[in-house]
Chain A
Amino acid sequence: MNPRGDQTFERCMKCTICNDYCPMLAVNPLFPGPKSAGPDGERYRLKDGRFFDNNLKYCLNCKRCELACPSGVHIADLVQLARLEKAPTYPSLRNAMLGSTDLVGRLATTFAPLANGALKSEFVQDALDHSLGVDAHRTFPDYAEQTFVRWYKKEAADRQKSYPQQVSYFHGCYVNYNFPELGRDLVRVLNAVGVGVRLLERERCCGVALLANGMKKSALRHASANLKSIRASLAEDRPVLLTGSTCTLTLRDEYPNVLGVDNSDVKEGITLATRWLYEAVDAGRIKLVFRPDFARRIAYHAPCHLEKLGWTLYSTELLKMIPGVDFVMLDSACCGMAGTFGFKKEYYHYAQEVGEKLFKSIREAKPDIVATDCETCKWQIEMSTGFEVAHPISLLADALDLPATKEANEKGSTASS
């Protein structure tokens, strides 16, 4: 399971295919590339930690090298581990702030109007740029005035138990603090197909931002709290659904491969909402009734971590089910944002250069809207192209005739019972 434990890096045959797939290497000659940073470097680092190359900081952890590797080497995991264990510097105040998404989110949503206004003012942006190194070009995502959890407890929690089937929703920091609309859309869609949405006993940030910013200990605490809640949910037959592709990859793969936390007993119960919905429709367990007047040209961008999960097809097949959709599949390419990477002043221009290929293909596709499962891809694409970006679940919520769907599923469940 651990990329060191099973020595998979020894299977590297030096073919350099990973380097060809690396989006960072293509724009940044300072980055040694996945082959040198991963399996080659690992041999040296095992001898002596002083062989750690500080330019590993440029790795986006997009995992595209791992996807392409014909020998199954966990290249990006090796780089992540090396950065966590061998990087000589302590995290800076900025990295601690960017990494602690739930702590900062809690603060910012409490003072949302103030925080949103401040983050848009030139003065604050310049101050962040000079004092902390958060690039002034970057547009910050808005913070919500009411968190998803608060809305859920006030408006939705009571009626969820009345549905014949239940799932748990791991909303993640983004839905809770920045974009509760997505969580509300998921509740609307699942409720319409007769599924109640519950929250986990206790949810912490999945920890991906902590890992990217060198805070392994906090990430470990988050992992054990989350797995405890996930185990409790599965024990009551509630699968855990997510809307964020990166949170999903973190809970399923980064926990064992990077943090060394065993999740093999619950891994199969952690799934993406789009996958769960697609499979339920495919198996005939639920029915979707679409509005006749929904017509959109949708360009789909496959986020790197969804590609690594291999689950892109569930989101795209779900969108293709909508009758009025003119579907365009964009060539799979990294947007460059890589979570908190693109916020950092010293990396900002690399993020934009990496994403340029994707931005160009979006401009050429001329869609009405771009769809993607990743929140940070959404920020990056909206800021860099001006196109609106929506999650497949939100598009589904728009395209569905919710009352008719509700009726069809109620009829279906009484007919079968």
Chain B
Amino acid sequence: MKFDAIIIGGGHSGLPRATELQRSGRRCLVVCAGESPRRFVEPVWSQKEARRAFEALGGTFLMGDSVVRGLFTDHRLMAVQTANHGRTRFEAPLFYLATGSFFSGGLVATHDAILEPVFGLDVDYVGGHADWVSPDFYADQPFMRFGVRVDEAGHPFLNGQPIENLYAIGSVVSRL
């Protein structure tokens, strides 16, 4: 299935970007793993309204689905496959990664590394496990700055090479 742009993540970064693109006449697909867990700070209905506005423009929103595989050729992302759609390929010339930080699963911490679980993109972080967290709860927590490394244009890196048709946006991006 072909789209003009595919946005992975339907939260506060992905959905506005998708809506903007859809409004400019591009057919967009949003893959959203679940409702944004920031219910605590923002009522869930704003998210529902944002989705409705996107769909009213003709956008396609996959709720409760997640990208499990990216198909790359020569530093370009050609297509993605999702948990619900098996072998079906969702193709586009343009992709956005907007999966958020640790809370929404955009970044995953293991004992010895910080990972980006969708594509295995290069992640910027410093030191070992003990350096990631400050014991003072109210201090600036180092792990909050970790994220995928991007070049000046916003392209993330895979094995040291920028992916030229993929952009990382929102809190998945490194602030180191």
A15 at the interface (CB under 8 A from B): yes
A21 CA to B51 CA in the complex, in Å? Answer: 14
Query: Who on chain B is nearest to A309 by CB?
Result: B84
Mark contacts of A313-350 with chain B using CB atoms, 8 A cut-off: 1 yes-contact digit, 0 otherwise: 10001000000000001010000000000000000000
Residues of A within 8 A of B82 (CB): 310
A85 at the interface (CB under 8 A from B): no
A260 at the interface (CB under 8 A from B): no
Q: Which of A68, A268, A310 interacts with B34 by CB under 8 Å?
A: A68
Majority SS at the chain A contact face: helix
- Contacts known (A15-B39, A279-B88, A310-B85); A69 close to B34, Cβ less than 8 A: yes
Residue pair B33, A70 in contact (C-beta under 8 Å): yes
A313 CA to B86 CA in the complex, in Å? Answer: 14
Residues of A within 8 A of B60 (CB): 313
Residues of B within 8 A of A40 (CB): none
Mark contacts of B53-94 with chain A using CB atoms, 8 A cut-off: 1 yes-contact digit, 0 otherwise: 001000010111100000000000000001011111000000
A279 CA to B1 CA in the complex, in Å? Answer: 8
- Contacts known (A17-B35, A310-B82, A331-B52); A268 close to B63, Cβ less than 8 A: no
A69 CA to B85 CA in the complex, in Å? Answer: 19
Mark contacts of A5-46 with chain B using CB atoms, 8 A cut-off: 1 yes-contact digit, 0 otherwise: 000000001011100110000000000000000000000000
B36 at the interface (CB under 8 A from A): yes
Residue pair A71, B34 in contact (C-beta under 8 Å): yes
Q: Can you list 29 pairs linking A and B with CB atoms under 8 Å apart?
A: A13-B37, A17-B34, A17-B39, A17-B44, A20-B45, A21-B35, A67-B34, A68-B34, A68-B64, A69-B35, A70-B33, A70-B34, A70-B37, A70-B104, A72-B33, A72-B34, A268-B86, A307-B63, A307-B64, A309-B84, A310-B63, A310-B64, A310-B65, A310-B82, A310-B85, A311-B84, A313-B62, A317-B1, A329-B55
Not counting A17-B39, A68-B34, A69-B64, a sample of 9 additional A-B residue pairs whose C-beta atoms are within 8 angstroms of each other reads: A20-B35, A67-B34, A70-B33, A70-B36, A268-B86, A309-B84, A310-B62, A313-B62, A331-B52
Chain A positions near chain B (C-beta within 8 angstroms): 13, 15-17, 20-21, 66-72, 268, 278-279, 282, 307-311, 313, 317, 329, 331
